[in-house]
Amino acid sequence: MINWDVIFSVSLESLVGATTIVYALAAIGLNVHFGYAGLLNFGQSAFLGVAAYGMAITVSTFDLPFWLGILVGLAATVVLALLLGIPTLRLRADYLAIVTIAAAEIVRLLFRSVSLSEWTGGSDGLQSFSQSFYDLNPYSGGISTTLISFSARELWIITVGWIVVALALFIVWLLMRSPWGRVIKAIREDEDAVRSLGKSVFAYKMQALILGGVLGSFGGYIFALSLAAIQPDTYGTEFTFYMYTIVILGGAARVLGPVVGSMIFWLLLTFINALLPALVSAGTIPTSIMTTNQAGAVGYILVGVGLILLLIFRPQGIFGDKKEVMLDAR
Amino acid sequence: MPGEPTGAAPARAGSTARDRATEALRDVAREPGAAKPDPILVADGVVRRFGGLTAVNVNHVEIQRGAITALIGPNGAGKTTFFNLLTGFDRPDEGQWKFNGDAVQGVPPHKVARRGMVRTFQLTKALSRLSVIDNMRLGAVGQKGETFWRALIPSLWRKQEAEITERADALLERFKLDKKREDFAGSLSGGQRKLLEMARALMVEPHMVMLDEPMAGVNPALTQSLLGHVKNLREDGMTVLFVEHDMDMVRDISDWVIVMAQGQVIAEGTPDSVMADPRVIDAYLGAHHDGAPDPSAPIDNEPAAGPKATDGPAERE
Ligand SMILES: Nc1ncnc2c1ncn2[C@@H]1O[C@H](COP(=O)(O)OP(=O)(O)OP(=O)(O)O)[C@@H](O)[C@H]1O
Ligand SMILES: [Mg+2]
pLDDT digits (tens, 9 = 90+) for A65-88: 999 999 999 999 999 999 999 999
- Residue B76 within any structural domain of the chain: yes
Chain B residue with CA closest to A92: the answer is B314
Rounded to an integer, what distance in angstroms lies between the CA atom of residue B192 and that of residue B221?
12
Nearest ligand 1 atom to the CA of B73 is: 21
The reply to whether A40 falls in a domain is yes
A175 touches chain B (CB under 8 A): yes
Cα–Cα distance for residue pair B28/B26, rounded to 1 Å: 6
* Residue B34 counted as domain residue: yes
Q: Report the alpha-carbon distance of residue A277 to residue B191 in Å, rounded.
A: 60
Tell me how far apart the alpha carbons of residues A221 and A223 are, in angstroms, rounded to a whole number: 5
Let me know: does A181 contact A170? Beta carbons within 8 Å: no
Look at residue A279 and tell me if it is in a domain: no
Give me the DSSP letters along B181-220: TTSBGGGS-HHHHHHHHHHHHHHT--SEEEEESTTTT--H
pLDDT for the residue B84? 95
What confidence tens digit (pLDDT) does each residue in B156-166 have?
A: 999 999 999 99
Mean pLDDT of A191-206: 96
Q: Is B101 inside any structural domain?
A: yes
| Probe target for ligand 1 pocket from B49, B80, B242, with the most ligand atoms within 8 Å of CB | B80
**Chain A residues touching B114 at Cβ < 8 A:** 198
Q: Which residue among A90, A181, A197 places its CB closest to the CB of B317?
A: A90
Q: Nearest bound ligand to CA B245?
A: 1
By Cβ distance, the residue of A171, A183, A198 closest to B204 is A198
Range of the domain at A156: 4-235
pLDDT at site B317: 40
In this prediction, residue B210 carries a pLDDT of 95
Q: Is residue B211 part of a domain?
A: yes
Q: For atom 22 of ligand 1, which residue has the closest CA?
A: B80
Pocket test for ligand 1, best of B56, B308, B310, B315 (most atoms within 8 A of CB): B310
Residue B160's CB: how many other CB atoms inside 10 A? 16
Ligand whose nearest atom lies closest to the CA of B78: 1
Residue with the bigger pLDDT between B300 and A57: it is A57
Residue A249 lies in a domain: no
A241 within some domain? no
Q: Could you tell me if residue A309 is inside a domain? A: no
- For the ranges A118-132, B141-155, B168-182, B277-291, which has the lowest average pLDDT? B277-291
In a domain, A92, yes or no: yes
Residue A324 located in a structural domain: no
What separation in Å is there between the alpha carbon of B82 and the centre of ligand 2?
9
The pLDDT > 70 percentage for chain A reads 99
- Would the pLDDT of B222 be above 90? no
Can you tell me the mean pLDDT for A208-213? 97
Query: CA-nearest residue of chain B to A327?
Result: B186
User: Is B261 inside a domain boundary?
Assistant: yes
Which one-letter DSSP state was computed for residue B167? H
b/e B1-21 (16+ beta carbons within 10 angstroms → b) = ebbebebebebeeeeebbebb
The pLDDT of residue B66 is 92
* Residue numbers in A near B151 (CB within 8 A): 174-175, 178-181
Mean pLDDT of B22-50: 89
Q: Given a cut of 60, is residue B112 above it in pLDDT?
A: yes
Residue B189 in any domain: the answer is no
Q: Which sign, positive or negative, has the C-alpha torsion B4, B7, B13, B17?
A: negative
* Count: domains in chain B: 1
Give the model's pLDDT for residue A330.
47
Q: Which of A71-75, A250-254, B191-195, B313-317 has the lowest mean pLDDT?
A: B313-317
For residue B294, is pLDDT > 80?
no
pLDDT at A189 over 60: yes
pLDDT at B287: 55
Question: Is pLDDT above 80 for B314?
Answer: no
Q: Is the residue at B91 inside a domain?
A: yes
For A285-325, the pLDDT digits (tens) are 888 888 888 888 888 898 889 888 888 888 888 888 877 77
Which residue has its alpha carbon closest to ligand 1 atom 27?
B75
pLDDT (0 to 100) of residue B15? 77
CB contact under 8 A, A90 and B113: no
What does A85-150 look like in DSSP terms, one character per residue? HHHHTTS-HHHHHHHHHHHHHHHHHHHH-GGGHHHH-GGG-EES--HHHHHT---SS-EE-SS-EE
Euclidean distance between CA atoms B153 and B236, whole angstroms: 35
Report the mean per-residue pLDDT for chain A. Answer: 92
Residues framing ligand 1 (Cβ under 6 A): B 50, 53, 55, 73, 75-81, 122, 304, 309-310, 313
Confidence band (pLDDT; 50, 70, 90) for B14?
Answer: low
CB contact under 8 A, A90 and B137: no
In this predicted structure, the answer to whether residue A120 has a pLDDT above a threshold of 50 is yes
Asked if B157's CB is within 8 angstroms of A179's CB, the reply is yes
Mean pLDDT of chain B: 85
- Contact yes or no for A196 and B127 at CB 8 A: no
What's the distance, CA A57 to chain centroid? 21
- With CA atoms as reference, the chain A residue closest to B140 would be A197
Q: What share of chain B in percent tops pLDDT 70?
A: 85
| pLDDT over 90 at B2, yes or no | no
Residue B291: its pLDDT value, please? Answer: 45
Residues of A in Cβ contact (< 8 Å) with B196: none
Q: Assess contact for B317 and A201: CB atoms under 8 A.
A: yes
Tell me which of A311 and B261 has the higher pLDDT: B261
Which of A13-17, B1-5, B167-171, B252-256 shows the lowest mean pLDDT across its residues?
Answer: B1-5
Which residues of B are less than 8 Å from A203 in CB distance? none
Please answer yes or no on whether A195 and B145 come within 8 Å at the CB atom.
Answer: no
**Domain contains A44:** yes
* Cα(B241) to centroid(ligand 1), Å: 18
Lowest-pLDDT choice from B11-15, B142-146, B275-279: B11-15
Higher per-residue pLDDT: B190 or A151: A151
Those residues whose beta carbon sits under 5 angstroms from the ion ligand 2 are B 80, 122
B128, B137, B311 ranked by CB distance to A182: nearest: B137
Among chain B residues, the shortest Cα distance to A200 is held by B110
Give the integer Cα–Cα distance in Å for A153 and A150: 8
Q: For B180-184, what is the mean pLDDT?
A: 95
Does ipTM top 0.95? Answer: no
Q: Which residue in B has a C-alpha nearest to residue A176's C-alpha?
A: B151
Asked if residue B196 is part of any domain, the answer here is no
Indicate which CATH number applies to the domain containing B244.
3.40.50.300
- Angle between helix axes A44-56 and A201-227 (nearest 10 degrees) is 50
Q: Report the C-alpha gap between B13 and A22 in whole angstroms.
A: 71
Backbone angles phi, psi at B121, to 5 degrees: -115, 150
How much is the pLDDT for B104? 92
The residue among B87, B110, B117, B210 with the most chain A CBs within 10 A of its CB, best to mutate, is B110
Q: What percent of chain A has pLDDT over 90?
A: 67
A191 in reach of chain B (CB within 8 A): yes
Taking the Cβ of residue A322 and every Cβ of chain B, the question of whether any pair is shorter than 8 Å is answered with: no
Q: Among residues A25, A28, A56, which one has the least CA distance to residue A254? A: A28
Which has the higher per-residue pLDDT, A153 or B28?
A: A153
**Nearest bound ligand to the CA of residue B75:** 1
Instruction: Give per-residue pLDDT as tens, A128-154.
Output: 898 999 999 999 988 888 888 899 999
Cβ contact B139–A189 (<8 Å) = no
pLDDT at B296 over 80: no
User: Quick one: pLDDT band at residue A262, thresholds 50, 70, 90?
Assistant: very high
Would you say residue B311 has pLDDT above 80?
A: no
Domain containing residue B81: 1-126+207-223+237-310
* Total domain count, chain A: 1
Quote the CA–CA distance of A94 and A6 in Å, as a whole number: 45
Q: Do A327 and B128 touch (CB under 8 A)?
A: yes
Ligand 1 centre to CA of A94 (Å) is: 24
Q: Do B147 and A180 touch (CB under 8 A)?
A: yes
